[in-house]
């Protein structure tokens, strides 16, 4: 029987038993729904990690000279961690040599950051991410000022008590008032708000906009590192890949020389790139993908067993039909194909439903939880294939039983 006829026949059989078909589909539908939802979440988080988080924290074609990795702290063991702690800090005095060693086509910024209590007359004290910066920090982080202005060169070099805040901190500290020109206090000292940054959004419930940026030389930097003259990082951005590699090699040589490392010794500092930060994400992703496969697989196994049973019942119920078809010239393989196509069609319909529900679930998750979800087109293809595959696998046994039926015995059945 031609394939299209077989599918049409399967659809009409399924349509004739809507309710039963619906329950049959449930397992596959739920399995595929979870598959799509989990893949969407992994995809969404991946996109977030790769584009937003890492992009915002480190930036494109950038690296940071750090004492130890900032993001890649996922599963380092005790000894590695101890070694990290014994490393020398990056110092204010390292900044000028680092900047001097940069090739053309780069820009730099240095900064320290920590969470601090920030106060204003309009609200109770709030915790915010406070960053003391120097160099091209705003340009490097692609963060613009929406209202007000950035620091002037003079404010930077004299370390004046001025500050640029994020819109979230603005909402918290200055509800209903224009913050520009007003004061906030950190560590007991007053700072004048001169600008409000653009909105960067949030992920996992954490806002990127709850921040305050001060010139590095302003007094607040002393609150950001426990030891004096220590800084968190120097960030470098290059015009392109090759300049980036050149810059990294130069800084590596420079830092090794400054720390008096012998040729055989490992680096005692970190040049962190988005790629190295992403290794951490890739480790998490592996667990997520395993969960994302195991959960739907369970649903699919249940779905496959249900389909197999329903198909066995269908074969028993339709024994006479099988006998008639055989009497009219259907070969064993025609009957086999008929029932395989039927169970594959059934389960593909289940998969399609599951894909639709999975999109819905992913959308719901994005709406009510901080997790970002994004639908991967390939997951639709996988969903359909998984559905059809489940149907074929669970149809093999019932279909081969149908195909082997003796025509006379089948016709004799009431």
Q: How far is the CB of 401 from another protein (least distance, A)?
A: 15
> Looking at beta carbons only, is 132 or 410 nearer to another protein?
410
Q: If we measure between CA atoms, which residue out of 111, 131, 127 comes closest to residue 206?
A: 127
DSSP state of 52: I
CA distance 221 to 95: 15
> Looking at beta carbons only, is 222 or 320 nearer to another protein?
320
> Looking at beta carbons only, is 6 or 231 nearer to another protein?
6
Q: How far is the CB of 21 from another protein (least distance, A)?
A: 14
**φ, ψ of residue 354 in degrees (nearest 5):** -60, -40
Q: How far is the CB of 352 from another protein (least distance, A)?
A: 24
- List the structure tokens of 264: 């055989």
- List the structure tokens of 95: 């900044």
Q: How far is the CB of 404 from another protein (least distance, A)?
A: 9
Q: How far is the CB of 317 from another protein (least distance, A)?
A: 11
> Looking at beta carbons only, is 136 or 334 nearer to another protein?
334
> Looking at beta carbons only, is 15 or 79 nearer to another protein?
15
DSSP state of 103: P
Q: How far is the CB of 13 from another protein (least distance, A)?
A: 8
- Cα separations in angstroms, 328 against 11, 407, 411: 22, 10, 12
The footprint of another protein (CB under 8 A) covers: 1-2, 5, 12-13, 16, 320-321, 323-334, 407-408, 411
- Cα separations in angstroms, 154 against 183, 214, 381: 20, 13, 58
* Residue 231: burial class (beta carbons within 10 Å; 0-12, 13-18, 19+): buried
CA distance 130 to 132: 7
> Looking at beta carbons only, is 177 or 408 nearer to another protein?
408
């Amino acid at each position: 029987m031609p394939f299209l006829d077989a599918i049409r026949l399967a659809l009409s059989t399924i349509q004739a038993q809507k309710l039963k078909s619906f329950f049959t589909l449930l397992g596959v539908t739920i399995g595929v729904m979870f598959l799509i939802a989990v893949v969407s979440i992994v995809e969404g988080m991946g996109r977030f990690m790769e584009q937003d988080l890492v992009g915002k924290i480190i930036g494109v074609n950038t690296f940071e000279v750090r004492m130890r990795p900032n993001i890649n702290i996922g599963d380092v063991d005790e000894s590695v961690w101890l070694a990290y702690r014994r490393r020398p800090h990056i110092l204010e005095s390292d900044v000028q040599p680092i900047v001097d060693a940069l090739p053309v086509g780069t820009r730099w910024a240095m900064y320290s950051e920590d969470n601090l209590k920030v106060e204003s007359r309009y609200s109770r004290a709030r915790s915010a991410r406070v960053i003391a910066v120097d160099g091209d920090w705003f340009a490097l982080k692609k963060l613009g000022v929406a209202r007000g202005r950035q620091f002037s060169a003079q404010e930077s070099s004299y370390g004046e008590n001025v500050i640029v805040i994020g819109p979230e901190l603005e909402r918290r500290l200055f509800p209903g008032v224009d913050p520009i020109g007003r004061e906030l206090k950190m560590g007991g000292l007053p700072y004048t708000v001169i600008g409000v940054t653009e909105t960067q959004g949030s992920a996992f419930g954490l806002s990127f906009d709850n921040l305050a940026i001060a010139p590095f030389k302003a007094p607040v930097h002393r609150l950001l590192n426990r030891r004096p003259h220590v800084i968190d990082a120097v960030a470098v951005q290059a015009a392109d890949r090759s300049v980036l590699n050149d810059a990294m090699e130069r800084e590596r040589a420079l830092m090794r020389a400054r720390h008096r490392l012998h040729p055989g010794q490992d680096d005692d500092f970190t040049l962190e790139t988005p790629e190295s930060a992403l290794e951490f994400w890739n480790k998490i992703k592996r667990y997520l993908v395993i969960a994302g496969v195991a959960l739907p697989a369970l649903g699919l196994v249940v779905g496959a067993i249900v389909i197999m049973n329903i198909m066995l019942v269908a074969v028993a119920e339709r024994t006479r039909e099988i006998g008639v078809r055989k009497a009219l010239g259907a070969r064993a393989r025609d009957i086999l194909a008929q029932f395989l196509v039927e169970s594959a069609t059934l389960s593909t319909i289940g998969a399609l439903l599951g894909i639709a529900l999975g999109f819905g679930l992913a959308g719901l998750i994005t709406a009510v939880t901080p997790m970002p979800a994004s639908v991967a087109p390939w997951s639709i293809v996988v969903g359909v294939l998984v559905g059809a595959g489940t149907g074929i696998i669970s149809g093999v046994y019932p279909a081969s039983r149908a195909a082997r039926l003796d025509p006379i015995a089948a016709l004799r059945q009431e």
